[in-house]
Structure 1
Amino acid sequence: MTYDPISRTFLDFFRERGHETVPDCSLIPPPGDPVLFTTSGMHPLTPYLEGRPHPLGRRLVNVQRCLRTTDLDEVGDSTHLTLFRMLGSWSLGDYDLPQSLRWGYVLLRDGFGIDHDRLHVTVFGGDDQVGPDEASQRIWEEIGLPVELTGEENWWSNGPTGPCGPDTELFVWTGDGPPRGTPGTDDRWMELWNHVGMRYHRHPDGRLTPLRQSNVDTGMGFERLEMVLRGHRSVFEGDGLVPWVRGVGDVWGLRDEPLRLVGDHLRSSVAVVGDGVCPSNTGRGYVLRRLLRRALTTLWRDDPSRSLSDLPTGPVRHTLDGFGQRVTVDEVRQVFSGEERRFRELLRRGRPVVSRRRSRGPLTDEDYRDLHDTHGLPRDLVDGLLSEAR
């Protein structure tokens, strides 16, 4: 299944059940939103989850581009990406979470052909404010899937405050042979689809109060689903990543984790630039700067002469076209080359500064703060220079 059939199967399933399609929107949230990037399909729908009527109705579905930096240290393995597509469905005060779970199971089993025996679910087991999600547990027991009760792992929110609630996570077995263990004991169980009973609002003091309406919010990573359906070992074998894996591997000779990290970060950077962001020291620009500099740090680890100017046109064009972005390849190259020049200059100036500071002994938190505030050297860059000197 390629991108179109996978997304079409998902969208058609929910459209047949009365859902209207919400268009994919930019990675940049609307003005006034404190979050830097759209991190989930539900993010643009927050006002409607809180009770505002949506112009398209109470049942919605879409495929939304998302960017998350919370898992940067895990990017480079077989399942984590910074930029990804999220397949999402919503009930805005309409049907309940058990109905969503029933539909989700039917879609995975009949729509996508995923074997019942490859699935495992986890359910919120309760805490000191909210009891266990017994309704969801009963559904899964009726269906016959193994159920594991957990704590905060099955409580979903998009930040420290705002809409939140208990969730069910559907895991799929990605290993050879029959499934073994549980998602908590064997990492070959991969999280695939999250169904959230979005019915609470968390306040700054930690209190929970009911939302004006009880909602359902689901999100499934397209690239992970593609990996499962095609029998791949990695999300980097999917249509959106293959051009980057080939391009980065061919031009710089990278393999394995460095190849995946550089490919992911450059692809993510292209999409961020395509949505209008330029590198800077704050906000969204700093996220872009960090992505590019992490990629360059990896590239230069074995060969400081490597340059983003050698990046093939094909992967850049593929990503811009895939997200319908009107920025040109040349404009992306200008942003990348400018940031590379600045980073090379910062490293040139930073090496002797860090070396002198290190000669006095191990760096303290105060040293790191001063290097950042006085010399513009962030902690991860300082650590990179220190490891470089060993």
Structure 2
Amino acid sequence: MTYDPISRTFVDFFRKRGHQPVPDGSLVPPPGDPVLFTTSGMHPLTPYLLGRPHPLGRRLVNVQRCLRTTDLDEVGDRTHLTLFQMLGSWSLGDYDISQSLRWGYELLRDGFGVGPDRMHVTVFGGDHQVGPDEIALRTWGEIGLPVELTGPENWWSNGPTGPCGPDSEIFVWTGDGPPRGTPGTDERWMEVWNHVQMRYHRHDDGRLTPLRQPNVDTGMGLERLEMVLRGHRSVFEGEGLVPWVGGVSGWGLPEQPLRLVCDHLRTSVVVVGDGVRPANTGRGYVLRRLLRRVLTTLWRDDPTRSLSDLPPEPVGHTLDRFGQPVTVGEVREVLTAEERRFRGLLRRGRPVVSRRRSRGPLTDADYRDLHDTHGLPRDLVDSLLDEAG
């Protein structure tokens, strides 16, 4: 299974159970939303999770493009991506977590062919405010999957305040041979599907009060599920990343830097396709930072590498995949213009950083001044210091 049959199988399963499809939305939230990018499938549904009636009803399903920068330092391993597609299902005050878990198990086992012997689950074990998730524990016990109790890892929240609740995560074994250990002891157990009981509101003082409408929110990464179903060693062997791996292979990068470049360029293309342009603040700065990380990686051992050499095929493949109304030429112009700007900044920044470093090791005040006065962000300054040895 590749992306489209996986998505169809997921959506059709829930449609047969009364869920209405919600269209995939842009990475850019509507005006007034304080979040820079859509980070999960539930993000566009926040008003309805808080109780507003949804025009499509109380059972929803979709496949939503998402962007997260919280795991940037993890990108380059076998499972983390900055841009990904999330398969999501929702109960807006309708069925409970037990039903959601049973359907999740059924879909993985019968719809996707994942053997029960390859599954392991984690459940919230309780803390000083909320007890163990007895409903999830009882449900998994009746199904017969092994359970690992955890703490904060199985508590979902959308920030320090707001909707939250215990979650249960389904892991699949991705190693050779029979499964061993637990998700907490062996990283070859990979999380694929999270089922959240969104039933509390956390206040500024840390108190929890019940939501007026308890919900169930689930999310499963499409790229990770494809990795499991096709027996790949990493998400970079999947349908959406293979064109990028092939497209940038001519630069001769080692595996981890190559993965980072593929991930960040693919993400940048979708961000540009959704209307964002490089800038010094907000969404534009996220895009600028991604491209600068790409360029810093490319130039680390060969400053002649250039985004002008990026072939059009992976760019076109990604734009087609997400149905974005921009041309390959327009995207490549945005990327190469940012490269020209960055090269100029490096030329101006090298002597500035060198003079500052000659006085001694850089302090936090130095970093702030280099950023505020000269426009040199900390990661760029560190790259210049590394470059100078």
Taking structure 2 as the reference length, the TM-score comes to 0.99
Amino acid aligned to 2:99 = Q
**Residue 388 (structure 2) pairs with residue 389 (structure 1):** yes
Amino acid aligned to 1:49 = L
Conservation of the 8 A alpha-carbon contact between 1:172 and 1:190: yes
Superposed displacement of residue 344, structure 1: 0.6
Superposed displacement of residue 21, structure 1: 0.2
**Residue 277 (structure 2) pairs with residue 278 (structure 1):** yes
Superposed displacement of residue 82, structure 1: 0.4
**Residue 219 (structure 2) pairs with residue 215 (structure 1):** no
Q: Which runs of 5+ in 1 are unaligned?
A: none
CA-to-partner distance for each residue in 1:293-336, whole Å, 9 max, x for gaps?
A: 00000000111011111111000001111000001111111111
Inter-partner Cα distance in structure 2 for 1:284 and 1:329: 21
Give the alignment of 1:18-33 within 5 angstroms.
Answer: 18-33=18-33
Inter-partner Cα distance in structure 1 for 2:340 and 2:45: 39
Equivalent residue number for residue 184 of structure 1: 184
Inter-partner Cα distance in structure 2 for 1:2 and 1:181: 29
CA-to-partner distance for each residue in 1:102-159, whole Å, 9 max, x for gaps?
A: 1000100111000101111111111122111111011111111111111111011222
Give the alignment of 1:205-244 within 5 angstroms.
Answer: 205-244=205-244
Higher mean C-alpha displacement, 187-196 vs 351-360: 351-360
Inter-partner Cα distance in structure 1 for 2:302 and 2:161: 44
Give the alignment of 1:299-314 within 5 angstroms.
Answer: 299-314=298-313
Aligned to 2:181, the other structure's residue is in SS state coil
Equivalent residue number for residue 159 of structure 1: 159
Count residues with an aligned counterpart: 389
Aligned to 2:319, the other structure's residue is in SS state helix
CA-to-partner distance for each residue in 1:173-204, whole Å, 9 max, x for gaps?
A: 10000111111111111111000001112223
CA-to-partner distance for each residue in 1:24-51, whole Å, 9 max, x for gaps?
A: 0000011111100000000000000000
Inter-partner Cα distance in structure 2 for 1:337 and 1:228: 36
Inter-partner Cα distance in structure 1 for 2:91 and 2:111: 20
Inter-partner Cα distance in structure 2 for 1:161 and 1:330: 43
Amino acid aligned to 2:188 = R
Aligned to 1:122, the other structure's residue is in SS state strand
Give the alignment of 1:35-184 within 5 angstroms.
Answer: 35-184=35-184
Inter-partner Cα distance in structure 2 for 1:115 and 1:209: 39
Higher mean C-alpha displacement, 193-202 vs 156-165: 156-165
Aligned to 2:156, the other structure's residue is in SS state strand
Q: Identity of aligned pairs, percent? A: 85
Equivalent residue number for residue 10 of structure 1: 10
Inter-partner Cα distance in structure 2 for 1:161 and 1:276: 30
**Residue 262 (structure 2) pairs with residue 263 (structure 1):** yes
Aligned to 1:302, the other structure's residue is in SS state coil
Amino acid aligned to 1:211 = L
Higher mean C-alpha displacement, 219-228 vs 351-360: 351-360
Q: Which runs of 5+ in 2 are unaligned?
A: none
Amino acid aligned to 1:369 = R
CA-to-partner distance for each residue in 1:69-95, whole Å, 9 max, x for gaps?
A: 000000011100000000000000000
Aligned to 1:220, the other structure's residue is in SS state strand
Q: CA RMSD in A?
A: 0.8
Inter-partner Cα distance in structure 2 for 1:159 and 1:28: 19
**Residue 338 (structure 2) pairs with residue 342 (structure 1):** no
Inter-partner Cα distance in structure 2 for 1:60 and 1:71: 28
Superposed displacement of residue 207, structure 1: 2.2
Taking structure 1 as the reference length, the TM-score comes to 0.98
Inter-partner Cα distance in structure 2 for 1:125 and 1:116: 23
Inter-partner Cα distance in structure 2 for 1:332 and 1:161: 38
Conservation of the 8 A alpha-carbon contact between 1:163 and 1:198: yes
**Residue 369 (structure 2) pairs with residue 370 (structure 1):** yes
CA-to-partner distance for each residue in 1:218-259, whole Å, 9 max, x for gaps?
A: 000000000000010010111111100000113x12231011
Inter-partner Cα distance in structure 1 for 2:387 and 2:184: 36
Amino acid aligned to 1:190 = M
Inter-partner Cα distance in structure 2 for 1:344 and 1:130: 53
Equivalent residue number for residue 34 of structure 2: 34
Superposed displacement of residue 2, structure 1: 1.7
Amino acid aligned to 1:356 = R
Inter-partner Cα distance in structure 2 for 1:206 and 1:283: 29
Inter-partner Cα distance in structure 1 for 2:315 and 2:213: 43
Equivalent residue number for residue 318 of structure 1: 317
Aligned to 1:56, the other structure's residue is in SS state coil
